[in-house]
Amino acid sequence: MIPARELPRRLRHCAMPLLCVATIAYIGYHTVQGDRGLAAWSLLNQRIDRVEVELRTARAARERLEHQVSLLRPDGLDRDMLDERARIVLGLAHPDELIFLTR
pLDDT on residue 91: 79
**pLDDT bracket for residue 13 (50, 70, 90):** confident
CA distances from 20 to 9, 63, 87 (A): 18, 59, 78
The identity of residue 92, as a single letter, is L
Confidence of residue 35 (pLDDT cuts 50, 70, 90): confident
Torsion of CA 56, 60, 61, 65, to 10 degrees: 150
pLDDT tens-digit map of 55-93:
999 999 999 999 988 887 778 777 887 788 788 888 778
What pLDDT, in 10s, does the model give residues 93-103? 878 878 777 86
Residue 21: pLDDT band with limits 50, 70, 90 = very high
